[in-house]
Structure 1
């Protein structure tokens, strides 16, 4: 096939495809016009109002907005806070300047936040490691203990994690470790009050 015929064929196929797309994507027309509606019949306008033949309009009654969903059950709320806390608390690098911990201040109790701030002051005064290191933590499972059920104001979460340490040029080491998080319920919701890694 010579070049001229090939070009004509490509243009013809493109026009057919464009024609098919234009046909499929065209706006739909109403089959009835308001003038041909039987007396008393309703037609819909673009605003959502219903119009009776003769020009009378029925505006639809809008439903009241749905109320906000109820707060999650205590166990679910504790689990969510504990998971977020463990993954962030356990993931850090030597170049991060403890941002993993400071990012958690909003979900800590005031007492725990103050104690953590004092510990960070102490840690920042220590010399930094010369080579890069990091740890990544992923939650595997969370066990929640609510001593008084849904009415509990205290909870314990045992968070089983998988952690991966990278140190300099050494092969990464992956291991499991459990973080025990004590939580208190305050007016804003559940907050971490202490956390301790199990050896």
Structure 2
């Protein structure tokens, strides 16, 4: 019996030691957390406001570059506003596509290709604009007479907006915002600038054609 009692005492002592060790460990962890001010890794607070967006700098537009004041480059009959006609989404898509694709191709040319891109635009223009473009090409050639010196402009449409439309008269005005790159005998360091172009379009035989071109 003495041996059995001794074993029971040892078991009780062992359990007491284990419990004391656990209490010491728990107290140590608590004191460390208080001392170092440990905070949870994850924050589930969904009410934290999102950071304010950073405003991007506005692009610099050149003061004067290929920018006629109020000169009409091609004729078009006046557009009647305030008709209250709603333009369907497919029609809007057709109008904007015609304007943006024309703006990019009209604003992109080089003296090395002898301005052949304007020939490709003939089916997209009215007769009055076709006649005007012939004079415009000659003006460009005079501005860059040396074919050995590379000169080119590349234009990319950024956005487009229908400013006014009269579906009864099949006419509309579309403003296209563009980014342009000017190359002067150096293809690696173009001058980048932003320029709007106002296009007056009219529908002939189911196709939107450009009847007025105005660089802003």
CA distance in 2, matches of 1:93, 1:122: 13
Which residue in 2 is equivalent to 1:145?
163
Given candidates 87, 99, 102, the residue that maps to 1:82 is 99
* Pairing 1:130-169 to 2, within 5 Å after superposition: 130-148=148-166, 150-169=167-186
Show structure 2 runs of 5+ residues with no match.
1-87
* Greater strand proportion: 1
C-alpha distance after superposition, 1:87-110 (max 9, x if no partner): 101111121211121111101011
- RMSD over aligned Cα, in angstroms? 2.4
TM-score by length of 2: 0.52
Show structure 1 runs of 5+ residues with no match.
1-70
Runs of at least 4 residues off by over 6 Å: none
Q: Which moves more between the two structures, 113-122 or 163-172? A: 113-122
TM-score by length of 1: 0.56
SS at match of 1:185: strand
CA distance in 1, matches of 2:154, 2:109: 7
Question: 8 Å contact 1:75–1:146 — kept in the other structure?
Answer: no
Question: 8 Å contact 1:146–1:152 — kept in the other structure?
Answer: no
SS at match of 1:194: strand
- Larger RCO, structure (CA 8 Å, separation 6 or more): 2
